[in-house]
Structures are given as C-alpha cells and as structure tokens.
A and B are shown apart, each in its own frame.
Chain A
Amino acid sequence: MVDISTELSGIHLDNPVIPASGTFGYGREYWDLYDLDILGSISIKGTTVEERYGNELPRIAECPDGLINSVGLQNPGMDAVIHEEIPELAKHFHKPLIANVSGFSIPEYVRLAEAMDAVKEVGILEVNVSCPNVHGGGMAFGTSCQNVAEVTREVKKVTSKPVYIKLSPNVTDIASIAKAAEDAGADGLSLINTLLGMRIDIRRRQPVIANKMGGFSGPAIFPVAVRMVYQVAKAVKIPLIGMGGVSSAEDVIEMMMAGASAVQVGAANLVNPFACQQIIEDLPELCRELKIEKLSDVIGVIV
C-alpha cells in the first residue's frame, strides 16, 4: 500500500493535490463533477475585503501550452465568502480549506486575516502578495523583501492559523523574498503565482487582453516553477506548496522532488475539469512504478 499523504504545518493531507486559487472558484462548478473529498485541500478563489468585479473583457488569451488571464480578482468580497461561499463549500468538502486572500494595503491584509481566523473551515491562510492583475496591490507587495516581511509580520499578529505567503515569480531573486517572509514568521510559502505576460493581435494591432498584460500559466511555465521551488527550498526551512503548470501525477512528483510538500493544480482544471481527480487516481500507480512507498519521502530529494 503506497502512502500518498503529506503534511502542511501540522495539517494532515490525504494527498498533496490542491486545486489552485482562481481556477476552482468556491467549488460550485466542480462538486457535481466528482467527490471533492478526494482532494488534499482546496485553495479558494482570491478574496478581497470588498466585492470586486475585476477587469474589462477580454480577460483571456491563449498561448502555446498555456493561457494568459487578467480576471482582476473578481470575487464577492470577504463577508459573502465567509457567510455564503465557505458554508456551502463545507457541505461538499469536509477537510481544512486554504483561504487565499488579497489586500490593497497592510490594514486590508490584517482585516482579511482577522476575519478568516474566525472561520473554522479554514486550515491555512494563503496570503497573495503576487497578483499581477490589479494595480496598487497584489504584486506591488510581493516584489520587495521589506513589504513581504511587513505583510507577514502584521498578518501573523492577528491569526493563529498557519500563514503561507504566495510569492510572485516576477522578481529578480525569489529566494531572498522567500527568506524575508520566513524571517518575518511565515509558516510556509506558496509558489509560483503567474508570470506576467502579454499577447498582441497582429491583425488588429492591439493587445489581446483589455488590461494589456496578464498572468501567464499552464504547462509552459512548469519548468520555471520547478526551478523556483527548488531555489526557494534551498533557501528556507518552512514547507512549500509548489504550483505552476502542474497537469499530471508526474508533475506532482517532480514538484515534490524539487522541494514542495504539497502541490496546487491550476490551469489544468480549466481545460479538464476532472484534472485533479485524474491526478489523484494516477498517483499511487506512479509511486509503485517509481518504487516510492511513502510519497512524502521524495520532498526535496534533489540536492
């Protein structure tokens, strides 16, 4: 019997597979498709203090082996998420959730953390300091060591839940930002968010996306994500949730070998809504083939 369970900051996960924030909503589009309880956890759609409509259309551009999105954190706001979305999701998913939150100022991050701290279904707080699609927030925090450290410190003061900082890849040295978050008290790190990208319609001489630029994700960014997870794993001691183009059980194990304790699956859900189910089904067989008895043994085996 292969053991595919893993652990994040003392929280047991039946398997390392977690749908990534922004590709799984609050579960509504998926719970009729398969039993959500097969998942390791779920990272909910990025939640802000106030309701947000997000950016103008078009928000999506296809790329070879991926897509660019510029949704702009559309969500119903923290009160609706806590009082409507999470209770509904909890009827279909009975394990600790990952609450992904995004602020536009330190006080907003603090308010979100305080609010999520009181939600019993939330196991981990995933603090998004890296959304490329909103101005004056998100990535502005995630690209400086000082800002990341400050957000981390302030959020840690108001919650007893494990705090994971979601890092941007759009930086010169992701390891130093990771270290700044760890030194400020982060319990773990999630990486990578999307890479800033752009497509141009050469016939119309216009950007494909209304907001011009957006976040590039999908299998095309997987090698970049593996590299960054590896670099960060070498720089910090706290657990990592690896993500970026993960689409198969093979990708999950590769990400774990690079140093991830758990793995999020993002864009793959959008092109195959059954992707996470398929990956979880494939993992035990692949472990047997690779002579892995306990999946968590491979975390960070690459020196």
Chain B
Amino acid sequence: MKDIEFKILENREIARDVFRMVLDGDTSEITAPGQFVNISLPGRYLRRPISICDWSKNKLTLIYKVVGHGTEDMSYMETGEYLRALMPLGNGYDIAAAPENPVVAGGGVGVPPLYALTRKLVEAGKHPYVALGFNSKEDVFYEDEFRALGVPVNVATVDGSYGKKGFVTDLIGDHSYAFSCGPLPMLKAVYSRVQDGQFSFEARMGCGFGACMGCSTRTKDGYKRICKDGPVLSWKEIVW
C-alpha cells in the first residue's frame, strides 16, 4: 500500500451521474481486479473508496457515481489537476479459482470492477458471460467496452427502457459460478441463483486498510474486514 499522487487525464460523465476518471500515476502495485483505491479530497476528512475499473502501466481508470458530497467534489475535478490515493486496497477477485464459463453479474455502479475482471478472465483463457443490470436506459454504461473484450454481453433494465426488462438475475440462466458486484439486494439475488462464486461488497469505511474495524462483518470463516479481507468474499463464506 502506498499513498500515490495521480494526475487527472480525463473526468467526464458517461451515464446519468456516473463519471469516468482516467489517472496518470504508479499502478505497479495492483495485484488483482476488484481492488480499490481510497481517495483524499480537500476539505473532506475521510478518504473515498472507489473500485478500480481498469489499469495499465501508469494509467488507472475509475468509474464512480455521484452519491454524496465527496463524489460530487470529484465530479468537478478537471483534467490536469492532481489527487492522492492510498492503493491498492483489498483482496480483489481470484481469477485462478474461476471455472471455464463463469457468469460476470454486475449492477449499476457495481459494474466497473467487473471490467478489468472480465479482461483478466479472457486473458487467462476463460470464457465469461457478462450480465449487466441498470435502472434505466440513461444509467447504462460500458456495454460496448465489455463487448470489445470479445465476450457475450446482455443488459437488463428495471424499467425495460433498454435491453431486457427485469433484473440481472433474469440474465444468468443456468450458470452455476458467478463473479458479482452491485447493490446488496442484487448480490443476494445472484447468490441464491448460483452454487459458487465471488462477491464484492460495499461498506462505509473508516480507514480502508484494516486498522479501524469500521467495516468488520460476520462470515462463516469468522469476522472479516470488508476493506482488508474483502471486498471480495467467496460464496461459501457469506452470511446474509
């Protein structure tokens, strides 16, 4: 974990209240998709944990939704400005544990970390199928980017304004192993449809690196900190 300074290369709205921020800085310590960064913002005491959407050498892509004061501040930041982030944080997804044909199931602002995950799965020779859920047409993002990875992609919207009307779970079919990230009700629904998988959880965090016990949660394997031992928990250990 390092406190790294990044230069903003791009920060623009790609769907309703959803922004993509591309940053220039040291990404060499990232070990797995599903890890996150904790961003320091002027005038805000706590950092903001944001999942890593994708990375390459010295380039980091984040996608975040404006949900409060901190993410609103971020949305006003401009190209050329700098920000600091503690990173990489969390365990991330375990690619090696994936079967040949997993489903990658994401909902809303839970979709971003699944992009690098899917890329890594493809690079590892696996054949993931991507199921994405959003509330409405104006909330949809990254469908084309996922397709460009050469994987089948299906989209559902709750109001039926784009893709299939319904939920991510309506797109899963008979897949038995899921990689998932999204709002809690969605994770729970995906969990009950499959027999195994890896699920990424959100939590209100204090430090983001395991020191404060602010996001400690019960699992079948004992107490785990979402920030440090997670955010990805395995299907087998989750307690709802």
CB distance from B26 to the nearest CB of A (A): 16
Q: Are B45 and A66 in contact (CB under 8 A)?
A: yes
Q: Does A60 contact B (CB under 8 A)?
A: yes
Q: Does B215 lie at the interface of the complex (its beta carbon under 8 Å from any beta carbon of A)? A: yes
Asked whether A271 and B207 contact (CB < 8 A) given A62-B45, A63-B45, A218-B45, the answer is: yes
Enumerate the 10 nearest inter-chain pairs by beta-carbon distance, A residue then B residue, closest first: A270-B207, A60-B214, A58-B204, A29-B211, A60-B206, A29-B210, A74-B213, A62-B46, A59-B214, A71-B213
Decide if the interface of chain B is mainly helix, strand, loop or mixed: loop
Q: Is B16 an interface residue (CB 8 A)?
A: no
> In the complex, which range does the number of interface residues on chain A fall in?
35 or more
Chain A interfacial positions (CB closer than 8 Å to B): 22-25, 28-30, 32-33, 45, 53-54, 57-67, 69, 71, 74, 218-219, 267, 269-274
Nearest-neighbor residue (CB-CB) of A62 within chain B: B46
Q: Which residue of chain A has its CB nearest to the CB of B227?
A: A29
Mark out the residues of chain B between 196 and 228 whose CB falls within 8 Å of any chain A CB in the assembled complex. 203-207, 209-218, 223, 228
- Which residue in chain A gives the minimum CB-CB distance to B40? A271
* Cβ-based interface call for B1 (8 A): yes
- CB neighbours (8 Å) of A269 from chain B are 207, 211
Q: A29-B228, A59-B204, A270-B207 are in contact. Are A65 and B45 (CB under 8 A)?
A: yes
* B206→A69 contact, CB < 8 A: yes
Q: Is the CB of A273 within 8 A of B216?
A: no
| Given A29-B210, A69-B206; A57-B1 close (CB under 8 Å) | no
Q: Which residues of B contact A (CB under 8 A)?
A: 1, 3, 40, 44-47, 86, 203-207, 209-218, 223, 228
Complex CA–CA separation, A53 to B218 (angstroms):
8
30 A–B pairs (Cβ distance < 8 Å), ordered by A: A22-B212, A25-B211, A29-B207, A30-B211, A32-B1, A53-B216, A53-B218, A54-B216, A58-B203, A58-B204, A59-B204, A59-B213, A60-B205, A61-B204, A63-B45, A67-B46, A69-B212, A69-B214, A71-B212, A71-B214, A219-B45, A269-B211, A270-B207, A270-B211, A271-B40, A271-B45, A271-B47, A273-B1, A273-B86, A273-B211
